[in-house]
Structure 1
């Protein structure tokens, strides 16, 4: 028997960050199809309102800057007022992934990565969890990455941010034991979205955003602590620290683990990097 009260998605309110495109939009579609009301938050105000309109009457679009706690609080308040109920499920999905050698990364990009990927998650949890705990039910999904378990050349600060989210999720899940509120970390491999555009990851399996969306929706029922997509890559990432460094080095070379530095289509990648820098 589950130690968490069941959340019926039919009519439940789900809030999703970074929801105008990619994993966030796919997740919004999946929840709408499950009967939920969905509040989509994104920094791209025009686009998030457009896609929310396309999703139908049970969806709403809101401007949201996850790095600004006041903006996040405004998103939560607007979503709950418009849908006339508290948030049952929060999906912290917003994220950025700059790539390049660590020594070449500008400080401002490092700060952006940590502000969006880590503090964006912290802000959402601090704003939504108290109400969930008071009601004795609720679920939070933090979309992390397998890069939160397995270091990748060219993504050092991104790795650091996702390691932080994995640890944050695990620790707060322990703290909330017995409250009826669950927290799940979803760990995707490389996803075919703009975030990873222009990078050829070679042997690293890539997945569609709809696969991540399905895992997020499923977690509302399973309430598992961690969900890797695909699952076998999660097992490999968990086992990697047990492999001798010399053996792992050979494997890494064969798998082209420097893809985020050496196997990049700069023209394609530049479009993404320019967008995240200009939006922030």
Structure 2
């Protein structure tokens, strides 16, 4: 794969796994993250260029893309996930979540398009979530941010699809990263691994599509679920435990993650 690929939020989790998978495929990978020490360490471990990146800052994002050079693909992966009851969400958490998860994706997309449109080629991949189409108690803020990413990605795709640019959304299920620390998995379901999402991204670069759900079988379930009445959907959610997963969690297990995302 002879492409130059830039990835945000790649010091750990899905971003790091994706960087590793793409590097193994022969791509030139450039990673960025707001955690300067962690991204530098990750870059050294993978043997790729690594830079500090605040996706909410135009200056920082511009510097990152300039350092990356003539990119073929931008993967907007950076994101945070505060959880808990909507009445307990602080204004600061709400602003930071939307600033990173939504504005960061919008900013990265716009900056990438400025570079790709004159060339008439390029691919922007926005890591959204199934939370963008499936809504869960205790996850209202994250649901809102990822729903915005899904909508923004599709509208942008339609705007530039005839100009040589691919724009795609990836919607992972619960994935074993720090984002789900202290929470249980849905009953009878197994969380995805970061490597599963990375494999889907690699495949998407090879064969661009508007949207990919990981795992694919959940995409079919989501589409079918839209035909069921609300009471049936709610009964299914209760059976899986989705009505409580993000309300009844272990706050001690999330302390390190919560402290980090709040800066």
TM-score of Structure 1 vs Structure 2, range by shorter chain: over 0.9
Deviating above 6 A after TM superposition, structure 1's stretches of 4 or more consecutive aligned residues are none
2:256 counterpart residue number? 271
Q: 5+ residue gaps in structure 2? A: none
Measure the CA separation in 2 of the matches of 1:215 and 1:193: 17
Q: How many Å separate the matches in 2 of 1:65 and 1:45?
A: 10
Using the size of structure 2 for normalisation, the TM-score is 0.97
Indicate yes or no: 2:124 matched with 1:140: yes
Report how far residue 205 of structure 1 moved. Answer: 3.7
SS of equivalent to 1:23? helix
Q: SS at the partner of 2:75?
A: strand
Q: What residue is the counterpart of 2:215 in the other structure? A: 230
Name the SS of the counterpart of 2:95 in structure 1: helix
TM-score normalised to structure 1 length: 0.91
Residue 133 of structure 2 corresponds to which residue in structure 1?
149
Counting only pairs closer than 5 Å after superposition, residues 98-117 of structure 1 correspond to structure 2 as 98-117=82-101
2:245 paired residue among 253, 256, 259: 259
Aligned residues: 261
Determine the C-alpha separation between the residues in 2 that align with 1:35 and 1:134: 26
- Indicate yes or no: 2:58 matched with 1:69: yes
Residue 55 in structure 1 maps to residue 46 in structure 2 = yes
The residue number in structure 1 matching 2:16 is 25
Q: Kindly indicate whether residue 156 of structure 2 is the aligned counterpart of residue 172 of structure 1.
A: yes
Structure 1 portions without partners, runs of 5+: 1-8, 81-85
Match of 1:92? 76
Deviation at 1:103, TM superposition (A): 1.0
Give the secondary-structure state (helix, strand or coil) at the position aligned to 1:242: coil
Instruction: Find the counterpart in structure 2 of residue 83 from structure 1.
Output: none
Alpha-carbon contact 1:149-1:238 (below 8 Å) kept? no
- Computed over aligned residues only, the root mean square deviation of the Cα atoms, in angstroms, reads 1.0
